[in-house]
Structure 1
Amino acid sequence: MNVNFEYYKIFYYVAKYGSFTKAARALGSTQPNVTRAMNCLEQQLHNTLFIRTNRGIQLTPEGEQLYTHVSVAMAQLFIAEEELSDSASLTHGSVTIGATETALNIFLLCKLKAFRTAYPGIRLKIYNYSSPQAIAAVKSGKIDFAVLSTPVPAELPLHLTPLQSFREILIGGPSFSALSEKELCFSDLKKYPFICLGRETATFQFYNQLFLSQELELIPDTEAATTDQILPLVKNNLGLAFLPEPMALESLAKQEVLQIAISEKLPLRHICLVHDHQHPLNSGARELKKIILGERMD
């Protein structure tokens, strides 16, 4: 049955107010238009829905049955409209993003704090991903976007926006204090236990390429699952490791770890935002993206 759904909306207001005139006023229409629409609805449903009286209208049993279902549907539509209105006004809603520990620690945390202060009603869900996992999640639409550390294996239609550069330093625990007075080269690292992220990460691939450029093979003695695990491992003298300098500064100041000079200059790495132009963002995600990109908030 191909019934004009606008008729159901008009029927809802007529039944609610018990009057064509009051329904027309609520709808911003006219009484003749409302009457005409209800006549059409009755004809299409092959049922009499109203009994017209001098005091207004009264629902027939068929009209009561229809109103039971239409009122439920209208209530759900009103709720949906309110939720969308709240989302557009940034009083409610949610944003889902992916982030590596490096990106979270040296860049993203302050941006999230600014967003939370500006929009306390928006819920945040942050997935702790490696770069390959985050790329897959952006492609599938599971997350709105990702903030990652390079290298990032992103291809069209994904778009990569650099946000901040950083350099990594070589650090060791107290047991390796004698090395702080030396300058090591990549080949020297083979003489000491070495800590690195797992082989499935983009960071491992980054260092693997560096080692290969020196005709060396990267074989870590300890593989960490996350960047956050590396510093405790170094502090406890399990080996040497490369770590983003901002993440090591506090421990360096406390002399819990020491920096070791290395002759080869490490390439700069970058924090970047990865998103899919084909994946529309809700209003909350758009505002967080603006803050991350350093754009002025509306």
Structure 2
Amino acid sequence: MYDATRLAALVAVAEDGSITRAAARLGYTAPALSQQLAKLEREAGAALLVRHHRGTRLTAAGELLAARGRRVLDEMDRARHELARLAGLSGGRLRVGTFVTAGVHLLPPVLSAFRRAHPQVELSVAQYEPPSGEAAVACGDVDLALTHAYEPAARVALPSGVAAEPLLVEELVLVTAPGHMLAEGSGRLPRAELAGQPLISMAPSHPPRQGVEAALAASGATPAVVLETPVYALVCALVSAGLGVAVVPEMVAAMSATPLGVRRLDPPEMRRTISVVHRPGEPDPAADTLRALLRGSFGRTGGAG
């Protein structure tokens, strides 16, 4: 019988492509996570990981066990959800933090499903622009928080006592005014083609996005600061009005209230990972049930994120 904690460690490395990143997400030190993985390799009787200069990749045996591990972990989450339903969750309170995009486009149907199943649980939702939601979970202001991380960007360590579980990975795409020449064509647009374009900043002082803007600047597309805001609806409105182009998550582009041209970029290395942050090891049926619903809605992600 494989230990579930070690299976979760293997799945995290498979998703993040790095022991260091997986450890930061799970709330371990890298050496502690490596020890868990070494024990799992002894249990499996096979090498599961190969380290290389860019991170860690799974062997064929590691890929097989990670795939089975995801199913085991998903079944365990379903069991927790069903047990919580049997228990009735007949009272209590669940406090959820979210950033604007997730709060508008992702969270409402999940909270609606939770309310239908557990109408006696009091729900509250508060807005936290990442990474402030992570600190709110750590200090107990909320029980769960949706947060995000961008690539490329410097990884920020989670506060002590919290863990992050990825829910959704999406590419960042170019958005333009309708009919803009850069939106023409069906193939990926080389990032160098953005050189000289007025690029509306997502927020030059916003730490999660500074790495992305630095990568764009390295391609010759230095952001033009038309406004400073983490609110994508404003960015998209300015783009739609022809004041510049921008690079935003594909979900934002797809759900924009204003008309946009959209083009994928090459290389496709810029992306955003949406995760749910929680306090592991604390029994909380309501929080566990909502996490299971989030996971069921968006599924486990593969690849780095």
Match status 1:224 vs 2:229? yes
SS of residue matched to 1:293: helix
Change (3 A) 1:211 1:194: closer
Match status 1:169 vs 2:173? yes
Residue 117 of structure 1: how far off its partner (Å): 1.8
Give the whole-Å Cα distance in 2 for the aligned partners of 1:104 and 1:123: 18
TM-score (norm 1): 0.58
| Among 275, 293, 296, the residue aligned to 1:294 | 296
> 2:126 maps to what in 1?
127
Change (3 A) 1:219 1:247: closer
Tell me if structure 1 keeps the 8 A contact 2:171–2:268: no
> 1:267 maps to what in 2?
270
Give the whole-Å Cα distance in 2 for the aligned partners of 1:281 and 1:237: 51
Change (3 A) 1:227 1:126: farther
SS of residue matched to 1:269: strand
Give the whole-Å Cα distance in 2 for the aligned partners of 1:122 and 1:99: 19
Change (3 A) 1:89 1:262: closer
Stretches of structure 2 lacking an aligned partner (at least 5 in a row): 1-86, 298-305
Tell me if structure 1 keeps the 8 A contact 2:201–2:223: no
Structure 2 counterpart of 1:145, one-letter code: L
Give the whole-Å Cα distance in 1 for the aligned partners of 2:88 and 2:266: 54
SS of residue matched to 1:197: coil
Tell me if structure 1 keeps the 8 A contact 2:99–2:127: yes
Give the whole-Å Cα distance in 1 for the aligned partners of 2:272 and 2:234: 20
Residue 120 of structure 1: how far off its partner (Å): 2.5
> 1:199 maps to what in 2?
204
Tell me if structure 2 keeps the 8 A contact 1:130–1:202: no
Name whichever of 165-174 and 89-98 sits farther off. Answer: 89-98
Count of aligned pairs between the two proteins: 204
Give the whole-Å Cα distance in 2 for the aligned partners of 1:237 and 1:222: 14
Residue 257 of structure 1: how far off its partner (Å): 1.0
Identity over aligned pairs, percent: 25
Residue 170 of structure 1: how far off its partner (Å): 0.5
Change (3 A) 1:168 1:272: same
Q: Deviations over 1:96-122 (max 9, x none)?
A: 122123333453333222112212232
Higher helix share: 1
> 2:286 maps to what in 1?
284
> 2:65 maps to what in 1?
none
Structure with max Cα Rg: 1
> 1:47 maps to what in 2?
none
The 5 A counterparts of 1:83-122 are 89-122=88-121
Match status 1:210 vs 2:212? no
Residue 226 of structure 1: how far off its partner (Å): 1.7
Residue 265 of structure 1: how far off its partner (Å): 2.1
Change (3 A) 1:258 1:163: same
Stretches of structure 1 lacking an aligned partner (at least 5 in a row): 1-87
Tell me if structure 2 keeps the 8 A contact 1:170–1:240: yes
Give the whole-Å Cα distance in 2 for the aligned partners of 1:215 and 1:180: 18
The 5 A counterparts of 1:23-102 are 89-102=88-101
Tell me if structure 2 keeps the 8 A contact 1:193–1:220: no
Change (3 A) 1:193 1:281: farther
Structure 1 counterpart of 2:199, one-letter code: F
TM-score (norm 2): 0.56
Change (3 A) 1:103 1:210: farther
Structure 2 counterpart of 1:161, one-letter code: E
Change (3 A) 1:276 1:250: closer
Change (3 A) 1:141 1:199: farther
Give the whole-Å Cα distance in 2 for the aligned partners of 1:93 and 1:232: 41
